[in-house]
Amino acid sequence: MIDVKNLSKSFGDHLVLDNISEHIREGEKVVIIGPSGSGKSTFLRCLNLLELPTSGTITFDGTVITDPKVDIDAVRRQMGMVFQHFNLFPNMTIRKNITLAPVRTKLMSQQEADDTAVTLLRRVGLEDKADAYPAQLSGGQRQRIAIARALASDPKILLCDEATSALDPKTTREILRLVRDINQRLGITVVVITHEMAVVEEICSHVAILDHGVLQETGTVEEIFSNPKTEAGRRLVYPDGVIIDQLPAANVIRIAFNGGSSYEPLIASLAIDCGVKANILGADTRNVNGQAFGTMLLGLPDDPEQIAKAMNYIKTQPNVTVEEVRDYHG
């Protein structure tokens, strides 16, 4: 679907994206997450060349769209985009907001565009708002209209730039469920830019972590949440970090549970099968994309033999990863 190779972007002397390579597969729900200023939005805008890369290539559906000879307007018609602040035309009705681009680009006749608008408004649950104006709608309703507008050209991919950051938590969940439904029912690939963990938990199948313009880590939800390999990944999965000096134990380990294993009685088994008594120092679980994930901090006895026995036992358990956190400070 989209293949990004060695993408860099600079504004003057300021390097915003540094040699990023990533592959987005057809039908995926990809979340690009990172702190403010990490380059997320710039990366998204490079995907449809709203920002021109300084170097590197972007291939979309087999076409190298960074080639100046490519008709980028034709490419963009296959890419719907949803913005943080909706970007609806305030002086136009909702129907006109949806039909304007397809008619202006001669993609549809006015009647075809009107029929499409009715279908899309029904899909986003706002079929009674066709003749309303944006100012008459709530923030969540305006974002639903923005999604409908992005779908009007029947795109292959939907690019969402912080599409829920201006919304309250309840409305955010509703919008994310709508986007997920669109992905599942229409088969449209979805790329979402966010700094919010709630978005990752609700919608995504693939995560890419950006920090300081560098793609720090990429993988499936299961891979990232079960065993983050980078400091940026650890900050995402374990946002509070661990300050070892405050933990009442000489030896601390972190266990990450993947999917169905979150609620297995591992601690009881550790005591019964190995004779190792562990103190639970902290635990957290979350639902990510319909699966249960969790982390647990354990304090082990100050006995090298028992520590080794506990580590070896935990490593044999399915869907569980374990690490010592003696040197990890969040």
Which pLDDT band, with edges at 50, 70 and 90, does 221 fall under? confident
CB 144 within 8 A of CB 171: no
What DSSP element (H or E) covers 113?
helix 110-123
Give me the pLDDT at residue 244, please. 42
Please tell me the distance from the alpha carbon of residue 55 to that of residue 308, in angstroms, as a whole number.
49
The residue behind tokens 């008594």 is 277
Reported as a single tens digit per residue, the pLDDT across 93-109 is: 999 999 999 999 888 99
* Whether the predicted pLDDT of 275 surpasses 70: yes
Structure-model confidence comparison of residues 50 and 286, the more confident one: 50
Is CATH 3.30.70.260 the right assignment for the domain spanning 238-324?
A: yes
Please tell me the distance from the alpha carbon of residue 224 to that of residue 229, in angstroms, as a whole number.
8
What CATH code is assigned to 2-226? Answer: 3.40.50.300
* Whether the predicted pLDDT of 30 surpasses 50: yes
Each domain of the chain, given as residue ranges in start order, spans: 2-226, 238-324
Please tell me the distance from the alpha carbon of residue 244 to that of residue 254, in angstroms, as a whole number.
12
Comparing 133-147, 231-245, 275-289, 301-315, the range with the smallest average pLDDT is 231-245
Please tell me the distance from the alpha carbon of residue 17 to that of residue 214, in angstroms, as a whole number.
6
- Let me know the angle formed at the C-alpha of 28 by 18 and 209, rounded to the nearest 5 degrees: 30
* Whether the predicted pLDDT of 228 surpasses 90: no
Comparing 34-43, 80-89, 99-108, 223-232, the range with the smallest average pLDDT is 223-232
Comparing 185-194, 241-250, 306-315, the range with the smallest average pLDDT is 241-250
Mean pLDDT of 207-220: 94
Please tell me the distance from the alpha carbon of residue 278 to that of residue 271, in angstroms, as a whole number.
8
Please tell me the distance from the alpha carbon of residue 52 to that of residue 58, in angstroms, as a whole number.
10
Reported as a single tens digit per residue, the pLDDT across 178-205 is: 999 999 999 999 999 998 887 888 888 8
Reported as a single tens digit per residue, the pLDDT across 126-184 is: 999 999 999 999 999 999 999 999 999 999 999 999 888 878 888 988 999 999 999 99
Please tell me the distance from the alpha carbon of residue 268 to that of residue 147, in angstroms, as a whole number.
49
